[in-house]
């Protein structure tokens, strides 16, 4: 019974290889995206992590930071 499910009338090798390739691709994409996010997060913390109130007001007034903050509050 298991052999019939795995073979899928002769198409099992194609289906399982496509499934494996897709799973591997999505896993690699996830890991790459996660590592890039962590790098960008570390850059952000290094740049803005220890802001005093004067620098924080300046950072909030910049256009790109307003867009980032608006997106963060909408999620």
pTM above 0.75, yes or no: no
Of the two residues 54 and 7, the one the predictor is more confident about is 7
Domain interval for residue 51: 2-74
Structurally, the chain folds into a number of domains equal to 1
Question: What DSSP string runs through 10-67?
Answer: GTHHHHHHHHHHHHHHHHHHHHHHHHHHHHHHHHHHHHHTT--HHHHHHHHHSHHHHH
In percent, how much of the chain has pLDDT > 70? 73
Of the two residues 3 and 56, the one the predictor is more confident about is 3
CB 60 within 8 A of CB 69: yes
pLDDT exceeds 60 at position 11: yes
Task: Name 59's Cβ contacts closer than 8 Å, sequence gap at least 6.
Answer: 48, 51, 65
């Amino acid at each position: 019974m298991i052999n019939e499910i795995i073979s899928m009338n002769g198409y099992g090798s194609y289906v399982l290889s496509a499934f494996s390739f897709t799973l591997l691709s999505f896993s690699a994409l996830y890991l790459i995206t996660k590592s890039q996010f962590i790098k960008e997060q570390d850059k952000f913390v290094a740049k803005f992590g220890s802001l005093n109130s004067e620098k924080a007001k300046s950072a909030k007034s910049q256009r790109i930071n307003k867009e980032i903050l608006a997106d963060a509050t909408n999620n």
